[in-house]
Chains A and B, each alone.
Chain A
Amino acid sequence: MNKKNNHAEAEVTEEVQLIHEKPSIGKVLSRFSRLGALLILCIGISLLNQNFLKTTNLINVFRQAAPQIIISLGMTIVFLTGGIDLSLGSVVTLTSVVSGYVLTQTNLPWWCAIIAAVGAGALSGFVTGQLIAIIKLPPAVASYGMLWVGRGLAFAIMGASPFFSFPDTFRYLGRGYFLGIPMPIWIVAIIALILGWFLKYTTLGRSLYAIGANPHAARASGIKLSKTLVSAYILSGMLAAIGGIILAARLNAVDQDMGASFLLPAIASPVMGGTSMAGGQGGVAGTIIGSLIMLVVTNGMNLLGINSLWQQLVTGIVVVLSVWLDVIMRKRN
Chain B
Amino acid sequence: MLDLSLPWWGWLLMGAGLVGFIAMLVVSIRRNQGVKRSLFASPYTLWMIIFTVLPVILIGYYAFTDMNGNFTLDNFRNFWDSNYESNKVIMQAMGEAGAAYVSRGTVNVDTLVYSLWMAFKCTAICLIAGYPAALFMADRNMKLGPTLVVLFIIPMWMNFLLRTIAWMSLLEDSGLINSFLRKLGFDGVQLMYNSNAVLLGMVYNFLPFMVFPIYTVLNKMDFRLSEAAADLGCNSWQTLYKVVMPLSIPGVISGITMVFMPSVTTFFIPRMLGGGNTMMFGDLIESKFLVEGNWNVGSALSLIMMVLILISLSILRKADPNGEGGGIA
* A is bound by B: no
Residues of B within 8 A of A (CB): none
Residues of A within 8 A of B (CB): none
